[in-house]
Structure 1
C-alpha cells in the first residue's frame, strides 16, 4: 500500500489520509476513493479552462461521484447526480437511464419524501469502477 501511495503523484499521503473515513473500510478502498476524488478534482480543474461539455464524460462523472458519496455515506438524489454530470439535466437523465439499464446504478425511493429518488452504484457498478481505478 505504501508503494501505491508513493506512486500516486499529486494525490500523495495527504489526500489518502483525508479519504480514510470509517474504521471498517479497508486501506484499499480508501486508496480507491482517493483516486476517485483526485479524478473529480482534476475534472473540475480542467473545467476552469474549457467547458466541461468538451470532454463528454457525463456517465463517468456520475459514477465517480456516486462512488465517493457512498464511501462518505452521503445519499445522492437524482438531481445531485445530474449536477455532478455537468451536462443539461435531460442529458444526465438519459445517461442515468442507460447506467441503470446496464445494471451499473440503482434508483431507490426516499424514506422521507415520495417525490425524491436516490441513485446508488449497484454491486456490478462498484466492481467495474473499482477495477478501472485499480488499473490507474
Structure 2
C-alpha cells in the first residue's frame, strides 16, 4: 500500500456506520471464511466510542450470525490515538492513526495477534491481523467502507 491518509481525530473519523467485509484464512488448514455486515461507531458517555459489528460469518460452508462490540477510549495523549478494549473492559490494543498507519500487538494466551491498520481516505480503512502461535495460524483482512 502506498499513501496513507492521516487522521488527526480518530474518534471523529470512526463515528458513523461502516460496511464491513472480512476474509479469514487459516494458513494451516487452507480453510477460508468470510464475514459480511456493518460496524456502527456510536459515542459513549465517557467520550469514547462503542463499535458494534454485526452480520454473518461463513466458515466451512456454514453461515451463522456473528457480532462483537469493542470500546474505543481516548488515551489522553492526542486525539489521533485511542485505547481499544473488549466489551468487558479488558485491554485489546492501542490505535494511533495520526500518520494513517498503525501496527499493534495483542497477546492472547500463547497466540500473538499483530494488527496493521491503514487509512486510505475519508471513507475507507483496512485492518490486517496476522495471528500466530500454537493454537492459530490465521490472516484476517477487514475492509471498512463508510455508509453514511
TM over 0.5: no
Q: Report the TM-score when normalising by structure 2.
A: 0.25
TM-score by length of 1: 0.26
**Greater relative CO, 1 or 2 (CA 8 Å, sep 6+):** 2
